[in-house]
Structure 1
């Protein structure tokens, strides 16, 4: 009843969105999937639920992630899905709600001797990591680690399967999704690292800024009624060893 009353009060005060909400989508499975004009993925499943509850019409636009950010900065998009907060982006984005899961960093392995119990276990291991990717500061800045940098997680998981690397570090959902897509299995080390908050961001100057409170309330309602965890669970189940 409390949430029903809150939504009613928000509906009475928030301005209607008269035009489609313009959302940028870069192809980054399983978060955002853009193939042949069709859009899906975890972030879109969550966002579609938010949009449906708030009665929005949505228009998705595919572009590489850096271009999505530029389009939002130029006022050509209303929403960026899965944005991480930085001082630079604060200039043109309103980080409305951490609407998407903060993906843990996992260490996948095949052989028990390569199981990672603590950070120091990484020394002496060949660690597969995606190039130009930030995981967490200590790991990113540690020049004593033996890192094998590759452009795609698919290749890293195949290298793990073939024994060319001892461990692969990956965000949880990406790692599980990639294993599932390849039909492979791997074990997950006990040592994990929390991920950073991931936001639903609205371009500053967009009419959608006026609905920031309604967005936050909707995300909270989804968590309270279990639909958020239900959506997330569909992706967490993928690729479990």
Structure 2
């Protein structure tokens, strides 16, 4: 009987140990929240970005990846001794890629509002907002004129979040709210007349209007005001703070202003920069 009891106790202990080990390897929310250190010098810094998001990240005329955020990331990496790598991602898969370690951060006009509990963010570095763009001379000059119209936005975007949240009442007046994989195609549909309006980031609107000043107009009313920040895996506060400190140093030595001026032709303004 004593031997049998000893075997039972040993079995229970083994099961308890297995449960602890499984919990530690499970990859659930608790694991994702564990504190993490900043990359060591020489480590790879993999930047996840949407390659169809000018002027923050896109494919240049030479076929290479370029953009304001990618230039920022490259400079931050160089100053910290990291090796930068650009990784174009499917925006729907960004969280899976970040939590698995396939990318180090999401750095591409990434709105932090409403996501604060899900990521470790850098300080907000750029002022942004959600706006609506329409074709000129189409009789649409206010939100009221969007009643019965077809509005399109990017899937899993800040604009979609607003239209399904705070501005759900406005969206209910639309004839249809459509989503699409990336904004370049959305504006092609606007230009062709397939849709009546595009709901998007202010930066995207400024870029599209600077490229075709005679084609589009932005409504005076805005859907929201928000900020861009660099998103890291939840718990990776140390890297987020390191990036913020480096961006501040880049502002102080004039690098930020130089990069803003480089992309000013795309509608990007130094006046919207925040980390100082």
TM, length-normalised to structure 1: 0.68
- Which stretch has the larger CA shift, 41-50 or 209-218? 209-218
Q: Corresponding residue for 1:25? A: 49
Give the equivalent residue in structure 1 for 2:151.
128
- Gaps of at least 5 residues in structure 1 are 1-13
**Matching of residues 107-186 of structure 1 within 5 Å:** 107-111=133-137, 113-116=139-142, 119=143, 121-124=144-147, 126-130=149-153, 132=155, 133-135=157-159, 136=162, 137-141=165-169, 142-147=171-176, 149=178, 151=180, 153-161=183-191, 165-178=195-208, 185-186=215-216
Count of aligned pairs between the two proteins:
221
**Cα displacement (A) at 1:188:** 2.5
Partner of 1:237: 265
Q: Taking structure 1 as reference, are residues 53 and 138 closer, same or farther at Cα in structure 2, changes over 3 Å only?
A: same
User: Which among 58, 71, 76 is matched to residue 102 of structure 2?
Assistant: 76
Query: Secondary structure of 1:52's partner?
Result: helix
Between the aligned partners of 2:113 and 2:130, the Cα distance in structure 1 is: 19
**Would the alpha carbon gap of residues 24 and 219 (structure 1) be closer, same or farther in structure 2, given more than 3 Å must change?**
same
Shift of the alpha carbon at 1:163? 5.2
Give the corresponding residue for 1:5.
none
Task: Report the equivalent of 2:85.
Answer: 59
Judge conservation of contact 1:125–1:166 (CA < 8 Å) in 2: no
C-alpha distance 202-170 of structure 1, shift in aligned 2 (>3 A): closer
| Rg larger for | 2
**RMSD value, Cα:** 3.8
Q: 1:190 aligns with which of 197, 206, 220?
A: 220
| Aligned mates of 2:239, 2:154 — CA distance in 1 | 37
- SS of 1:97 mapped into structure 2: coil
Distance 1:194 1:173 in 2: 13
Change (3 A) 1:159 1:210: closer
**Post-superposition shift, 1:90?**
4.1
Unmatched runs of 5 consecutive residues or more in structure 2: 1-37, 269-276
